[in-house]
Structure 1
């Protein structure tokens, strides 16, 4: 049965929650102890108050007969909020300390294994990890594990205490409280937990279908199938509502059973109190009231357990995802040291996307010598951008290797930016000044350095004519500039950075032919002498490179200089003619 509980399976091989239970066990034990004492004080307050009220109603002959209950009532009345406050301080301090360590570990893992992580997880997983998972682990402690540990402690004390007073009553308490603390929460996990997981799947699918159908509503209408669209949506929604109704029905039944057990407990204490203390002076009423009232604060500790146990299904996904992260390895103290000249080499490179199991690149071999200009051609989806990510170390090859001066590029980490810079399809300009945007290439650059690179990319006159010059705001995403100007500003960053290798990932997409040729000319003129890797989907300006490769079906279909391919490769000639509109 316990093997069917997802949280227990996840905790069995857990590397994130269990270590912190051991590491901060003293603080955890103290917090649980204070939590138990808080409920004991609550029960003691009600016990003393119940005894005091019923004893006072019988007109005691002497005030000394109720003096002890009066003192205990005051003592428990003060102790209960005091211990409650202390319990909150200790437990939340423990949880916040633990979650801060978890966040640090998560960010260290993401930073150290960014290439591996981005190769294995989708963007939604990353966002989920950063926004929800640590919060879920925090709730796992505060809403489930901590109340559960406190309830277990109270359970042991209740059974032992009643066992001392009456072994038979102790056995009865063992059964009743056992049903409330163990049986019903376990029942909630097994029955409603499965429904909760199914409800989440149905809800996610409902959103997917609804989005897809709304975006395509015009086609539904034009096809004359509007009613079919509504029926499909109603069918999905009814499936979700049926699951939600089943969950709510179960919760009402579960809460009813909990109330029945509480009623049975109260009746049991009334009968037991009357039998146990019936022969004492003053009658059994004093003790019946005391024991019955003492139960209600204890119920407050037990009643939330079924709902808390059911929520563990929500936390399990976060726990599993965290444990699927690569184990945090020892961080390299320094990046690999290499010296110029810089040579990139690709050896028997294979890459497969884990999400689709599709092999994008198969057996690529390539050498890019210092100062060489390489053009990478291919259809959309052929693997050009994937190859670029592998060259820069942003992804890890499934097989083979990509090296810079003999060192795998994924080992450089952030320091790869000292050797390889990138101008992508849509360079981003932040909503700050022109100077700040260009200084992304070199934070220490002076205004004179910035003006120098602006002159090199042909933007100095335009910037000088602006009202605030370098201090002009570029607006969000650089919308005040044209596409060609944004690419030139991105080039200015690269010139300021002065890296030996530049990766151009289709930098002229969306530009008109005249602007495109002007940008290409500027790039090749200003980056003369540097290694250029130019990913492009057509052949305008291709004669300025030293070698051309064409990727098709994950392999090199062409490889040679532009002149060689024009002379020997019919397909290359056709591609170039088509690109020129001939």
Structure 2
């Protein structure tokens, strides 16, 4: 795993100086804690012997103050540096993850499930962050401190040094390894259950309307209940194991205290002066427990980190190679040619688009209809260059669209089922279509899509927040806001991907009338699942199995094509005998 890792090792190397600083500060924090207890113990013992002069214990008092100030200072700086290091690394990891997913945006539904991506974003990067904070830092600091303690005691007595080495090894090495052995399978199960929850909850929420319409609200609630119960039971087992393990670790720490008490009584009680160090040595070990006991917790979580590292390293973007880019004047657009297109997502999947050809002129209105999975949305992705066909090409004025990707925003506007609206004002959301437009021009666009009266009736008017995902407005109103954005964008080609799905028939009809009215001078390619508003287009193409089954003007098809007549009647709810 580590040999081929590209998500952890590179950043360890990149920020190795800062990492070394963090580790040194961690050691100094615990050292100051131990030294504080050492000087405090010495001061207490020495004071109990009634020194004839305060100057005898004054240096110990000064050191107690110094170490007392040094411990929180080093700890504070260590926290600042460690979190600075972690935030730098995780920032780069998140940026890299977003870029990786973005490169595969066109293949998103085919390569990943939404729940899996949510798992990657919310779990795996956080796990790498915890890998450093909970495992790497405490383990390295704990090992360094243990070596310092063993060497210090071994200087006075080799056998006691070996005994302390054995007891510290239980705390720093044996207990963490036992934690991994006991908890590895349980942690992996918890990770798998969490991944299932992300996937199932996402799928269920995205299909919430279907659950409600089918009257299966109770099934919706129970869909993830078993998984949640299993996850909670597993977490409770882990909690009980941690309690027992930490209890035994504290017991071992108590044995270290007893061993040091025996050691100091054997070596430091032969004179009054040396006896003052008994309490100092025993108390000095106390802060070390705060550092070495959490190591087992970090090791226990390692299988989860390993799984995250494996998943991230298996996330490979699809390489995109674009030809040399060209420029085009959007106002010069005349024809969009789909020249014998053929497309399949991979060699194991069936050919989705087969030898598709069509020439669409400026101002044409084209509707693509057909069963789900016939390649309608894929065709839109081929048109704007999100996907590259295996055969054929998409041409704008005889220029391959793949050479015009830098011009996409000038050429294509897109309206789909769920327009993305930000949690900011109405006017800011609409201005995203063209940030150079004035407030007056934005208001004109909103008036064109029949939103002016509604907006001006609101207390804050055009400064009203649309709220997260546009939840302040209904589905039809959200689409009108997105349509106003398209008007500002003023691209010659507008791609509509079922923008009226989920709207009631009256709202749908009103929205379609508005779309075709305000975009009368645009070229429109409209993917739709039924025939409401079909009279607004010049051409209808019915796709089946990636090929054109029928094509023509909607009125001509209704008069002359029996299949189209049946489709229209079914769409209108007319019983076919």
Q: Considering the TM-score relative to the shorter chain, is it more than 0.5?
A: yes
> Is residue 442 from structure 1 mapped to residue 469 from structure 2 by the alignment?
no
What is the DSSP-based 3-state SS (H/G/I as helix, E as strand, rest coil) of the residue aligned with 1:351? coil
Q: Structure 2: any 5+ residue segments left out of the alignment?
A: none
1:376 corresponds in structure 2 to 368
> Is residue 282 from structure 1 mapped to residue 272 from structure 2 by the alignment?
yes
Deviations 1:331-355 (A, max 9, x none): 9999653454453536211136x9x
Could you say if the C-alpha distance between residues 141 and 349 of structure 1 is closer, same or farther in structure 2, counting changes exceeding 3 Å?
same
Residue 187 (structure 1) aligned to one of 178, 187, 207: 178
Q: d(CA) in 1 for partners of 2:279 and 2:455?
A: 88
2:542 corresponds in structure 1 to 550
2:68 corresponds in structure 1 to 77
Q: d(CA) in 1 for partners of 2:486 and 2:80?
A: 52
1:3 corresponds in structure 2 to none
Residue 345 (structure 2) aligned to one of 342, 351, 355: 351
What is the DSSP-based 3-state SS (H/G/I as helix, E as strand, rest coil) of the residue aligned with 1:254? helix
Mapping for residues 306-385 of structure 1, pairs under 5 Å: 306-326=296-316, 336-338=326-328, 340-341=333-334, 343-345=336-338, 347-351=341-345, 361-363=352-354, 365-371=356-362, 372-385=364-377
Report the alpha carbon displacement of residue 283 of structure 1 after superposing the two structures with TM: 8.0
Could you say if the C-alpha distance between residues 114 and 515 of structure 1 is closer, same or farther in structure 2, counting changes exceeding 3 Å?
closer
Report the alpha carbon displacement of residue 155 of structure 1 after superposing the two structures with TM: 2.1
Could you say if the C-alpha distance between residues 526 and 271 of structure 1 is closer, same or farther in structure 2, counting changes exceeding 3 Å?
closer
Question: Does the 8 Å contact 2:124/2:308 carry over to 1?
Answer: yes
Q: Please say which of residues 123-132 and 305-314 is displaced more in the overlay.
A: 123-132
Q: d(CA) in 1 for partners of 2:160 and 2:40?
A: 23
Could you say if the C-alpha distance between residues 419 and 32 of structure 1 is closer, same or farther in structure 2, counting changes exceeding 3 Å?
same
How many residue pairs are counted as aligned between the two chains?
555
Residue 523 (structure 2) aligned to one of 522, 531, 547: 531
2:78 corresponds in structure 1 to 87
> Is residue 412 from structure 1 mapped to residue 405 from structure 2 by the alignment?
yes
Q: d(CA) in 2 for partners of 1:517 and 1:450?
A: 24
Question: Does the 8 Å contact 1:349/1:365 carry over to 2?
Answer: no
Residue 137 (structure 1) aligned to one of 124, 128, 131: 128
Report the alpha carbon displacement of residue 296 of structure 1 after superposing the two structures with TM: 0.8
1:297 corresponds in structure 2 to 287
Question: Does the 8 Å contact 1:430/1:437 carry over to 2?
Answer: yes
Report the alpha carbon displacement of residue 248 of structure 1 after superposing the two structures with TM: 3.2
Q: Please say which of residues 295-304 and 167-176 is displaced more in the overlay.
A: 167-176
What is the DSSP-based 3-state SS (H/G/I as helix, E as strand, rest coil) of the residue aligned with 2:524? strand
What is the DSSP-based 3-state SS (H/G/I as helix, E as strand, rest coil) of the residue aligned with 1:293? helix
Question: Does the 8 Å contact 2:134/2:297 carry over to 1?
Answer: no
Report the alpha carbon displacement of residue 36 of structure 1 after superposing the two structures with TM: 0.8
Report the alpha carbon displacement of residue 258 of structure 1 after superposing the two structures with TM: 1.0
Deviations 1:489-514 (A, max 9, x none): 65444343221211122345566778
Mapping for residues 383-422 of structure 1, pairs under 5 Å: 383-394=375-386, 396=387, 403-405=394-396, 407=400, 409=402, 412=405, 415-422=407-414
Deviations 1:8-42 (A, max 9, x none): x4x44332332221112112112211211221122
Q: d(CA) in 2 for partners of 1:79 and 1:478?
A: 52
**RMSD across aligned C-alpha pairs, in angstroms?**
4.8
Report the alpha carbon displacement of residue 243 of structure 1 after superposing the two structures with TM: 3.1
Provide the TM-score with structure 1 as the length reference.
0.77
Deviations 1:221-256 (A, max 9, x none): 99xxx9xx99x9998777556534432332233123
Q: d(CA) in 1 for partners of 2:229 and 2:441?
A: 65
What is the DSSP-based 3-state SS (H/G/I as helix, E as strand, rest coil) of the residue aligned with 1:421? strand
Report the alpha carbon displacement of residue 163 of structure 1 after superposing the two structures with TM: 3.0
Q: Structure 1: any 5+ residue segments left out of the alignment?
A: 1-8
Could you say if the C-alpha distance between residues 148 and 557 of structure 1 is closer, same or farther in structure 2, counting changes exceeding 3 Å?
same
Report the alpha carbon displacement of residue 58 of structure 1 after superposing the two structures with TM: 3.8
Residue 273 (structure 1) aligned to one of 261, 264, 270: 264
Deviations 1:442-491 (A, max 9, x none): 3333566567667876x4996899799985969764977894x7766654
> Is residue 423 from structure 1 mapped to residue 415 from structure 2 by the alignment?
yes
2:37 corresponds in structure 1 to 46
Could you say if the C-alpha distance between residues 153 and 456 of structure 1 is closer, same or farther in structure 2, counting changes exceeding 3 Å?
closer
